[in-house]
């Protein structure tokens, strides 16, 4: 079976689903954002503030390249990783790209208690979520598999992913 790459907007459940997949399959889970924070020795919000989004995206691409060659891993990307075709190409070489989705209101509810979301530090976060989702929609649709996480537990989503990835061959 190929690696499983989880992508999708923030708050769609990538981290929790990744943990479930790791537990079920016995594979290592790699969180690209966590690896970036570890290598840069600072939070993503700090990287955005100090260096801007373009510099962050460069670091993200390098980190994706570093880990995408591994075997039997679950790679969880940040929500904006799909914006660079280079990232998608590298991830697809050895992985099946699974995009998790949720309604904007659900995303807001799931992210509202977390201040580590630099793109949502705005006056109207729901409006910003809708704008970003609309902009990123064509990028997310490049995934091999789309999964709606609404009303599902991380375990249910993980089981659905495993079933669909098996069918991908």
Task: Report the pLDDT averaged over residues 9-21.
Answer: 93
- Domain positions in the chain are 3-163
- 2 pLDDT higher than 70: yes
pLDDT tens column, 33-76: 999 999 999 998 889 889 998 999 999 999 999 999 999 999 99
Task: List Cα–Cα distances, 77 to 18, 32, 33, 60, 122, in angstroms.
Answer: 10, 5, 7, 9, 23
- H-state helical runs in the chain: 14-25, 32-40, 44-68, 85-94, 104-111, 125-140, 154-168
User: What pLDDT score was predicted for residue 99?
Assistant: 97
- Provide the whole-model pTM: 0.91
Confidence (pLDDT) at 155 = 97
Half-sphere exposure of 164 toward its Cβ, with a 13 Å CA cutoff? Answer: 18
Which pLDDT belongs to residue 114?
64
CATH 3.40.50.300 for domain 3-163, yes or no, is yes
Over residues 114-122, mean pLDDT: 60
Length reported for the chain: 169
Confidence (pLDDT) at 110:
83
The per-residue pLDDT for range 124-169, each reduced to its tens digit, is 888 988 999 999 999 999 999 999 999 999 999 999 999 999 877 5
Give tens-digit pLDDT for 138-149: 999 999 999 999
């Amino acid at each position: 079976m190929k690696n499983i790459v989880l992508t999708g907007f923030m708050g769609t459940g990538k981290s929790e689903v990744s943990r479930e997949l790791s537990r079920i399959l016995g594979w290592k889970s790699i969180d690209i954002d966590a690896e970036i924070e570890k290598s840069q020795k600072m939070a993503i919000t700090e990287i955005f503030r100090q260096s801007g989004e373009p510099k962050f995206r460069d670091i993200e691409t390098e980190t994706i390249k570093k880990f995408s060659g591994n075997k039997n891993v679950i790679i969880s990307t940040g929500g904006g990783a799909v914006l660079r075709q280079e990232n998608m190409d590298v991830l697809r070489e050895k992985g099946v790209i699974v995009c998790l989705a949720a309604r904007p209101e659900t995303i807001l509810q799931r992210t509202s208690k977390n201040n580590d979301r630099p793109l949502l530090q705005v006056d109207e976060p729901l409006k910003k979520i809708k704008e970003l989702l609309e902009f990123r929609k064509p990028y997310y649709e490049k995934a091999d598999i789309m999964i709606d996480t609404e009303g599902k537990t991380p375990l249910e989503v993980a089981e659905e992913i495993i079933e669909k990835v098996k069918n991908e061959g």
